[in-house]
Amino acid sequence: MTLDIITSDLLGPVQHGFFARRGGASSGIFQGLNCGFGSSDQHEIVSINRARVAEALDVDHAALVGVHQTHSADVVHVTQAGQDTGKADALVTATQGIAISVLTADCQPVLFADTKNGVIGAAHAGWKGAISGILEATVDAMIEIGAERSEITAAIGPTISQRAYEVGPEFVEQFLDEDHGYARFFANGNADRSLFDLPAFGLYRLREAGIKDAEWTRHCTYGDAERFFSFRRSVHKQEADYGRLIAAIRL
């Protein structure tokens, strides 16, 4: 089955994709293209799925490089296929033939490209990473290896939308303690609950970091179960686990 690959014109000619569920080998609650070894899906099946992603990007399986994500603001510079990347939440590279990737299931997958200077980045940006500075750290890491801030573009892929992201007052307080202006990213929910606009917050942080050309693909992971995995939806449905979507970019 053909893979379902979402792309952004902002990333120009750089080969990339936000991969949806269709076309994978997993079954059951992982039905489709589950690319997360951290899930309880069969390791061999996840390997098959990741190999299909590598093939779609025209790289060797070992050249599809990820990272052990921890909701941090840490970035890894990737220089070779099969590199041990350790724990971090973003990757950057200027090396041809390597696809850098992140996994998400409601958090923001963000892909970056400076086509003029041949530098790319990929970040996993949930609310913790975003407020801690993972997006700014990715931009800074790209600049360290040759990118120019004015040349970097970015795209946020499928993520949870505001209408599906209900949070409690303690969550809101964490943001307002950081900056009272962040109140604009919240709308009223039921009772004392609020609705958080994660992609709008991500776009704001990108633009504050000097990235003028940035967009969200406007796909909600929670609202489209056929196309996307969602951690929050799996919790609401009381499922034992959930699949992970992959986003990847290569030079």
pLDDT in tens, 157-176: 999 999 999 999 999 999 99
Domain 5-160+213-250 has CATH 3.30.2320.30: no
| β strands within the chain, DSSP E | 5-6, 15-19, 64-65, 75-77, 90-93, 99-104, 108-114, 119-125, 153-156, 166-167, 186-188, 194-196, 213-216, 245-250
Is it the case that residue 145 has pLDDT exceeding 70? yes
Is it the case that residue 21 has pLDDT exceeding 80? yes
90 has which bridge partners?
75, 123
Across 132-160, average pLDDT: 98
pTM above 0.85, yes or no: yes
Mean pLDDT of the chain: 97
